[in-house]
Amino acid sequence: MPRLIAFTRYGRLGASSRVRFLQFQAHLEQAGMQVHVSPLLSDRYLEILYTQKKRSWLEMVRGYFLRCVDIFRIPFYDYIWIEKELFPGLPATVERLLHLGGFRYVVDYDDAIFHNYDLASNPLYRYLMGEKIAVVMRSAGTVVAGNPYIAEYARRARSGCVKIIPSVVDTNQYGIATRPNGLLPVIGWIGSPSTAPYLLQIAPALREANQKIPFELVVIGAQIELEGLSVRCKAWSEATEIQEIQQFDIGIMPLPDDPWARGKCGYKLIQYMACGVAVIGSPVGVNREIVSAAVGFAPESSEAWQDALLSLLADAGLRLSIGIQGRLRVEMFYSMQSAASEFCELIPRPCT
């Protein structure tokens, strides 16, 4: 039985690891592959980070030590899958050695983490580490990019093989739930504390819209206050996130137009659409591809955000129509069912 070792960044609590690899693990095993997952940072690390707003150095040291141990196990595996990089913040020494040793690993990206290095504020760090991710990509057998922005960076880095696989959802788990008539419309956002500040940029549009058509604003996965608005913040849970999204009438994804945001994979838009929720997303990066005129709004200004919000708040029929079109788009382009076979074939035949 072929064996694969997956060096993920997190366990199931980490969205990137859960979406980009762990949800495909069962498909790999059904295809006859034995899979060992080696997360760098534990769920405990993320729990401390999100609840106490601090990093656990003990968990980090533990994670880096265990990763070093698993690095020496690589020769006992047939295939290697790496999420982003083996050792964040350190040079790409191990990735270079794997390449020199003939190990053709697959490396996956759902964020433009190369900007952590090439846009670092410290000039010395930027000089020493700016090309790190380019080196990781060049040393890989295959680079899997979640969107064209990341894929283009990989090509400029002279990666020999680049494949685009978007972040996807299991449409068997995501369903459309009909909300009773007469309820206050719900505008919802789901994410992490690190991206919640993006909501601040559309706060004026939300306030103006709320004065004309009242709504409930629900934030899942972060605590945030928006002046002049009542915000209901709820904890994220993998067990309940789908049910929470199904309570939304409108799903929002504001983004700044900066290099980091251009590398986002638009996953929350895909989650909303999979539940038949009408969406509004900033036209930044891959959001432009996910949201078309038929499946949502892509406003470029605060005034356009307000107009989009009011259009959907005032018209339940429009929300329903857009929601249905969004669900169909997810089934065609952003479902695990459509991506699983490509993902499974990618591992044993990384560059064909």
CATH superfamily membership of 3-168+336-346: Glycogen Phosphorylase B; (3.40.50.2000)
Q: What is the mean pLDDT of residues 119-144?
A: 96
Model confidence at 330, pLDDT cuts 50, 70, 90, reads: very high
Can you read off the two tokens belonging to residue 212?
A: 């004309």
**DSSP codes, 6-42:** EE-SB-TTSHHHHHHTGGGHHHHHHTT-EEEE--SB-
pLDDT for residue 349: 63
* pLDDT value of residue 68: 97
Q: Residue 72: is its pLDDT beyond 90?
A: yes
- For the purposes of burial, counting CB atoms within 10 Å of the CB of 110, is it exposed (0-12), middle (13-18) or buried (19 or more)? buried
Residue with tokens 């050695």: 97
pLDDT band at 180 (very low <50, low <70, confident <90, very high): confident
Tens of pLDDT, residue by residue over 297-323, are: 999 999 999 999 999 999 999 999 999
E strands within the chain? 3-7, 34-37, 79-83, 106-109, 142-145, 162-164, 186-190, 216-220, 231-234, 250-253, 278-281, 296-297
Give the pLDDT of residue 351.
53
128 contact partners, CB below 8 Å, separation of at least 6? 91
> If you average pLDDT over every residue of the chain, what do you get?
93
Give the SS3 label for residue 252: strand
Query: At how many degrees (to 10) do helices 203-212 and 302-314 cross?
Result: 40
pTM exceeds 0.85: yes
- Residue 351 and residue 160 in contact, taking contact as beta carbons nearer than 8 Å: yes
* Burial bucket for residue 173 (CB in 10 Å: 0-12, 13-18, 19+): exposed
For residue 337, name the pLDDT band (cuts at 50, 70, 90): confident
Phi and psi at residue 72, to the nearest 5°: -75, -10
pLDDT at 15 over 50: yes
Q: State residue 293's pLDDT score.
A: 67
Residue 181 has pLDDT above 80, yes or no: no
Backbone angles phi, psi at 96, to 5 degrees: -60, -45
Q: Among 18-22, 26-30, 167-171, 347-351, which is the least confidently predicted range?
A: 347-351
What is the distance between the alpha carbons of residues 298 and 279, in angstroms, rounded to a whole number? 9
Q: Does this chain's domain 3-168+336-346 share its CATH topology with 186-333?
A: yes
| Domain assignments of the chain as residue spans, ordered by start | 3-168+336-346, 186-333
pLDDT of residue 352: 46
Q: Letter for the amino acid at 306?
A: Q
Domain 186-333 has CATH 3.40.50.2000: yes
Tens of pLDDT, residue by residue over 201-232, are 999 999 999 999 999 999 999 999 999 999 99
15: phi then psi, degrees, rounded to nearest 5: -60, -45
pLDDT tens for 187-200 read 999 999 989 999 99
CA distances to 137, 139, 233, 282, 287 from 125, in Å? 19, 21, 37, 32, 31
Per-residue pLDDT, 345: 84
Q: How far apart are CA 7 and CA 21, in angstroms?
A: 10
Strands 278-281 and 296-297: parallel
Q: Which residues pair with 296 in a beta bridge?
A: 279
| The pLDDT value given to residue 256 | 94
Q: Find out whether 266 and 254 touch, Cβ atoms under 8 Å.
A: no
